[in-house]
Structure 1
Amino acid sequence: MRSSTSIRESHRRSNLRALKKVFLGPVGQKSQLRKAIRNHSIRLDMARGGMISLILGCLAVFSASVVVADNPYRFYTWTVTYGTVAPLGDSQQVILINGQFPGPKLEVMTNDNVVLNLINKLDQPFLLTWNGIKQRKNSWQDGVLGTNCVIPPNSNYTYRFQAKDQIGTFTYFPSTLLHKAAGGFGAINIYERPQIPIPFPTPAGDFTLLVGDWHKTGHKMLQQSLDSGKSLPFPDGILINGQAHTTFSGDQGKTYMFRISNVGLSTSLNFRIQGHKLELVEVEGCHTFQNTYDSIDVHVGQSAAVLVTLNQPPKDYHIVASTRFTKTVLDATAVLHYTNSLTPVSGPLPAGPTYQIHWSMKQARTIRWNLTASAARPNPQGSYHYGKVAISRTIVLANSAPLINGKLRYAVNGVSFINADTPLKLADYFNIGGVFSTNSLQSVPSAGAANLATSVMPASLHEFIEVIFQNNENTVQSWHLDGYDFWVVGYGFGQWTPASRKIYNLVDAPTRHTAQVYPRSWTSILVSLDNQGMWNLRSAAWERQYLGQQFYLRVWTPDHSLANEYDMPSNALLCGKAVGHHP
């Protein structure tokens, strides 16, 4: 547990050490920073004077060793290996990062530049994706198969990206094969800079909780099951931070932040703490109106931050995460320990909702944007009136589970996505034909048999679009869009129609990167396409993503400008038909 103040101070000290090494250390370190500055993928925003701040900050460190640049660089080296743990009692192979399961927390401040060298020591190709990090103008670093070549075994790749204008709770995880079922995931906590006020008193500390369903079966066997046309079995349990049981300690009378992320493969979860209220303050980088709840639903791929005041008698209390919308309810428990407690946890687990869809949808509608709060820059969040912007077009996306060639697949508007050997971003950049199709996926559902395609939906930079996720199945869905957050303006049962817009929240809907869609229901979002690139729109339920419930959104303009998108990084891996081409 660390406070945001101590994290800021730690970052200032480590940043000072990094800059000293660059200017006073070996030539190779100097060269590393020069290459980083030259590389467009981590270029600072010139309009804000970021490069000037960096140069002046570096010169000050060189002369006085007391000043840190305004937009610091943070350097990491992560090594991915296999290891053996027993999270549910039986030993099994998992994926470790720097020997840790889950992986290390990536704790940065808004506008920090991350330079992360990832070394793959697995026996399979590997990639990490940065769930919720917008990657402004930089889909080159998205870490999915449509934008990056995989990192081969015994090889490495250096990601370079900026946590640009974001504050909040995010995650990273493997985007390749079924690696997510073995671990390799971790937290990304982005803290505010000192001059940026947050809309609540600084907590005494914060706890990170990576919660998700878990299988005892190894990831390779799970993948074989999907490849054979079978669905994944029901999970064996729920883990909190890779464990079946853990403890969080705090002082009576103080308030703590709990950052909850659903890192599971498929199951929505409900989170609650015995005898304590949850004050919701943030979802995926959006500061919310501070409603108080007894429990809160967190769907696959989503994150939420709540404040909890330790205002009960000094003892230990149950923390519970349990599955939603499942016939068999699984739960994981942890302990909230008061530091002055002499009484162990007791009593029944606090009850939570199980299948109640209406309950969950009603709660989702109460989550609203805090319009009076500052964002990552010192301006009111509500200064952009999204509800008054004209919609350029409407896209309706319907998920389905067809059989194609006798095997289970998942589809969007009748198209089940298949990955190409060449990343779509590289094919687009080098103008390589025959890799993807821009006319296979229609913007509305249609009748007919489902088919396989490497589907890309074209869109223009600065379009403002309405997307309807129509779920005609009996299972809850969870949809994620890389490179963006979007306004979740409406939820409803049955079929969406234009009349459904009457119930939209066009004033203070929250911004998120992942939205749930309830069974036999719809969810509507509004998206400002202000981030050029090739962006993955997918199911956050990994079985469905793996078997085709995804496609790519090509946000494009004919005007080549670094103000719109960075150039291809010089260290980009080349594969497939892109081999032999040069940046």
Structure 2
Amino acid sequence: MAGSMRRALLFACVCLLVNSARAEDPYRFFDWDVTYGEISPLGVSQQGILINGQFPGPMVECQTNDNLIINVHNSLPDPFLLSWNGLQQRKDSWQDGLSGTNCPIPPGQNFTYRMQAKDQIGSFFYFPSLAFHKAAGGFGAIRIHSRPLIPVPFPSPDDEFTVLIGDWYTTSHKALQDLLDSGKELPSPDGVLINGKRGSNGSDFNVEQGKTYRLRISNVGLQNTLNFLIQGHSMTLVEVEGTHTVQNSYTSLDVHTGQSLSVLFTADRPARDYRIVVSTRFTNTTLRSTAVIRYAGSSGPAFEPLSAGPSDVDFSLSQARSIRTNLTASGPRPNPQGSYHYGSINVTRTIRLASSAVWSAGGGRLRYAVNGVSFAEADTPLKLADYFNISGVFRLGGIPDAPPPEGEEAVRSETAVMNSDHRSFVEVVLENGEDGVQIWHLDGHSVFVVGMDVGTWSEQSRDGYNLVDAVSRCTVQVYPRGWTAVLVALDNVGMWNMRSEVWARRYLGQQFYLRVYTPTRSSRDELPIPDNAVLCGRVATAADGSRSLPVSRRDR
């Protein structure tokens, strides 16, 4: 009897182990080699960054909760990092791929990113984050599909296409970086790319009459808002950076730098060739690129004239306000997106962020600042310095919660970090006192875009907030001489980059790191430092081989 009991218990344990193994989320493996190579997207030969010989780079395609193992070989002569625009890395800012979180991959070496698309769906992209590498390529699309049993609020499309759009320079990325380092501003871009090509060299998208297609669009450029339209067709917006949206129909859509979205369109016109038109917005000179939507059996180009996108801020602002969350649709989980009642949560803190452009005294170098602080890169990743309790790398609390009083124009350069408690619920008001559109991105989180307008924000502006179905996304625009208000649950412990997506502004200081902090160290809140973490700067000598051992934290 005792033997039978032991065998029964053993069998039960084996079953539990097998079921546990079966329940583990799938793994997807990628092996990438990053090199320089000759490209000519605008007809001028230049040096670009290729991944496995491709420009743009390979697509990361996965499903909710998949584990992503991406081994990156750096065959460049420069240090290199990849970051993941919108892939939130729940509980794991160790994988964020920015200078504040990771040591660079040295030339000739590799690093393996280990991430999980935890409770996430949607359209995103990756990009190189160091120096001015982003101007040379190295970017690619990320698709995160819903799990099969989770309902999606639209019929499965007949096919999906990735559409990476962005402004482009024929000047090398190193020459552009030198311009900024010498105190000069970047000139206007030379063109606009669609999937790495322009104009008559653009991509063809083959369709069949009567079928419906999904376009996953990401603006991977350096600075320009781009308007996207399909000649003679309307588009239905269905997803924005992981949120299923109210399915409004649009003839064109503004896609700001760093933003991603998905649209459906039906090939319901006569069988001809129609153009995708991508054009710059809010610029003195409009740059335009086209690609072809080619119907099966096409009889030639469509006769309709190519229309230009709208040019006024009011149109773009109204369109942005019309993008709202589909409350009844499921997200990555089966519960409706509207079941999270963000509008009824008490705000614990209000942060106002205003950027400014100043010329530094003496050297005459242009710098950008947030609340009077221009971010200075450190010699050690801030995440590592925080973990190993190394003082002097950054100043906690160096970013104030509000801009300095009017008239105080002094800007200091500092490696400043904003502190915040885990699970706080914060109102952030982004203020733009300049004449161009500004775009902000927060890593590791999505924010509810509850309000935006031109003019000056005041506490009375809250009366017009959308506290019911505001869209949740990670990249938001602020219109000229205007403001945008967002609400964010800081539920992801780590060191997260808050930055301008106008890349010259970020490079010259319009960024900082937000430390979402908990005094306890638990894998329930944050994953431990990975065993393959590269150590550099002050940590390389201070850690003394003990990088996997937890150390005490203390506030600075």
Q: Normalising by structure 2, report the TM-score.
A: 0.93
Question: What is aligned with 2:169?
Answer: 215
User: Does residue 487 of structure 2 align to residue 526 of structure 1?
Assistant: yes
User: Which aligned pairs between 1:321-470 and structure 2 lie closer than 5 A?
Assistant: 321-354=278-311, 356-405=312-361, 406-446=364-404, 447-470=408-431
Is the contact between residue 212 and residue 262 of structure 1 (CA under 8 Å) also seen in structure 2?
yes
Question: What is aligned with 2:527?
Answer: 566
Question: What is aligned with 1:46?
Answer: none
Alignment equivalent of 1:121, drawn from 69, 75, 83 = 75
Question: What SS class does the counterpart of residue 73 from structure 2 fall into?
Answer: strand
Given the superposition, is the C-alpha separation of residues 504 and 54 from structure 1 closer, same or farther in structure 2, using an over 3 Å criterion? farther
In 2: Cα distance, 1:490 partner to 1:455 partner: 28
User: Does residue 18 of structure 2 align to residue 56 of structure 1?
Assistant: yes
Write out the 4+ residue segments of structure 1 that deviate beyond 6 Å after TM superposition: none
Question: What is aligned with 2:238?
Answer: 281
Question: What is aligned with 1:106?
Answer: 60
Q: Give 1:449 deviation, angstroms.
A: 0.3
In structure 1, what residue type is equivalent to 2:70? Answer: L
In 2: Cα distance, 1:550 partner to 1:445 partner: 14
In 2: Cα distance, 1:343 partner to 1:174 partner: 39
Q: Normalising by structure 1, report the TM-score.
A: 0.88
In structure 1, what residue type is equivalent to 2:328? Answer: T
In structure 1, what residue type is equivalent to 2:111? Answer: Y
Is the contact between residue 54 and residue 69 of structure 1 (CA under 8 Å) also seen in structure 2?
no
- Superimposed CA distance per residue, residues 119-167 of structure 1 (whole angstroms, 9 cap, x where no aligned partner): 0011110000011011110000000000000001101100000001111
Q: Give 1:352 deviation, angstroms.
A: 1.2
User: Which aligned pairs between 1:218-297 and structure 2 lie closer than 5 A?
Assistant: 218-244=172-198, 245-297=202-254
Q: Give 1:350 deviation, angstroms.
A: 2.2
Given the superposition, is the C-alpha separation of residues 296 and 53 from structure 1 closer, same or farther in structure 2, using an over 3 Å criterion? farther
- Superimposed CA distance per residue, residues 346-381 of structure 1 (whole angstroms, 9 cap, x where no aligned partner): 443122112x00110000000000000011011111
In 2: Cα distance, 1:345 partner to 1:253 partner: 17
User: Which aligned pairs between 1:82-161 and structure 2 lie closer than 5 A?
Assistant: 82-161=36-115
Question: What SS class does the counterpart of residue 166 from structure 1 fall into?
Answer: coil
In 2: Cα distance, 1:543 partner to 1:53 partner: 56
Question: What is aligned with 1:480?
Answer: 441
Question: What SS class does the counterpart of residue 410 from structure 1 fall into?
Answer: strand
Is the contact between residue 107 and residue 188 of structure 1 (CA under 8 Å) also seen in structure 2?
yes
User: Which aligned pairs between 1:163-202 and structure 2 lie closer than 5 A?
Assistant: 163-202=117-156
In 2: Cα distance, 1:560 partner to 1:166 partner: 25
Question: What SS class does the counterpart of residue 197 from structure 1 fall into?
Answer: coil
In 1: Cα distance, 2:103 partner to 2:370 partner: 24
Is the contact between residue 318 and residue 350 of structure 1 (CA under 8 Å) also seen in structure 2?
no
Question: What SS class does the counterpart of residue 486 from structure 2 fall into?
Answer: strand
What is the percentage of aligned positions where both structures have the same residue? 59
Question: What SS class does the counterpart of residue 396 from structure 2 fall into?
Answer: coil
Q: Give 1:495 deviation, angstroms.
A: 1.1
In 2: Cα distance, 1:189 partner to 1:503 partner: 34
Worse-superposed segment, 556-565 or 514-523: 556-565
In 2: Cα distance, 1:313 partner to 1:74 partner: 41
Q: Give 1:345 deviation, angstroms.
A: 4.3
Is the contact between residue 53 and residue 70 of structure 1 (CA under 8 Å) also seen in structure 2?
no
Given the superposition, is the C-alpha separation of residues 440 and 58 from structure 1 closer, same or farther in structure 2, using an over 3 Å criterion? closer
Q: Give 1:454 deviation, angstroms.
A: 0.4
In 2: Cα distance, 1:58 partner to 1:100 partner: 38
Question: What SS class does the counterpart of residue 334 from structure 1 fall into?
Answer: strand
In structure 2, what residue type is equivalent to 1:389? Answer: I
Alignment equivalent of 1:538, drawn from 480, 496, 499 = 499
Given the superposition, is the C-alpha separation of residues 541 and 75 from structure 1 closer, same or farther in structure 2, using an over 3 Å criterion? same
Alignment equivalent of 2:513, drawn from 552, 572, 575 = 552
Given the superposition, is the C-alpha separation of residues 168 and 217 from structure 1 closer, same or farther in structure 2, using an over 3 Å criterion? same
In structure 1, what residue type is equivalent to 2:436? Answer: T
Q: Give 1:549 deviation, angstroms.
A: 0.1
Given the superposition, is the C-alpha separation of residues 55 and 323 from structure 1 closer, same or farther in structure 2, using an over 3 Å criterion? farther
Question: What SS class does the counterpart of residue 108 from structure 1 fall into?
Answer: strand
In structure 2, what residue type is equivalent to 1:415? Answer: V
Is the contact between residue 372 and residue 411 of structure 2 (CA under 8 Å) also seen in structure 1?
yes
- Superimposed CA distance per residue, residues 533-553 of structure 1 (whole angstroms, 9 cap, x where no aligned partner): 000000011100000000000
In 2: Cα distance, 1:577 partner to 1:170 partner: 34
Question: What SS class does the counterpart of residue 293 from structure 2 fall into?
Answer: strand
Question: What SS class does the counterpart of residue 382 from structure 1 fall into?
Answer: helix
Question: What SS class does the counterpart of residue 402 from structure 1 fall into?
Answer: strand
Alignment equivalent of 1:509, drawn from 459, 462, 470 = 470
In 2: Cα distance, 1:123 partner to 1:92 partner: 17
Q: Give 1:335 deviation, angstroms.
A: 0.6
Question: What SS class does the counterpart of residue 411 from structure 1 fall into?
Answer: strand
Q: Give 1:55 deviation, angstroms.
A: 5.6
Question: What is aligned with 1:16?
Answer: none
- Superimposed CA distance per residue, residues 84-105 of structure 1 (whole angstroms, 9 cap, x where no aligned partner): 1110011111000000000000
Structure 2 stretches lacking a partner, 5+ long: 1-13, 548-556
Question: What SS class does the counterpart of residue 78 from structure 1 fall into?
Answer: strand
Is the contact between residue 252 and residue 340 of structure 1 (CA under 8 Å) also seen in structure 2?
no
- Superimposed CA distance per residue, residues 296-341 of structure 1 (whole angstroms, 9 cap, x where no aligned partner): 0000000010000000111110110100000100011001011121
Question: What SS class does the counterpart of residue 579 from structure 1 fall into?
Answer: helix
In 1: Cα distance, 2:129 partner to 2:259 partner: 16
In structure 2, what residue type is equivalent to 1:88? Answer: L
In structure 1, what residue type is equivalent to 2:512? Answer: F
Q: Give 1:439 deviation, angstroms.
A: 3.1
Given the superposition, is the C-alpha separation of residues 199 and 54 from structure 1 closer, same or farther in structure 2, using an over 3 Å criterion? farther
In structure 1, what residue type is equivalent to 2:422? Answer: L
Structure 1 stretches lacking a partner, 5+ long: 1-51, 60-67
User: Which aligned pairs between 1:309-324 and structure 2 lie closer than 5 A?
Assistant: 309-324=266-281
In 2: Cα distance, 1:55 partner to 1:242 partner: 47
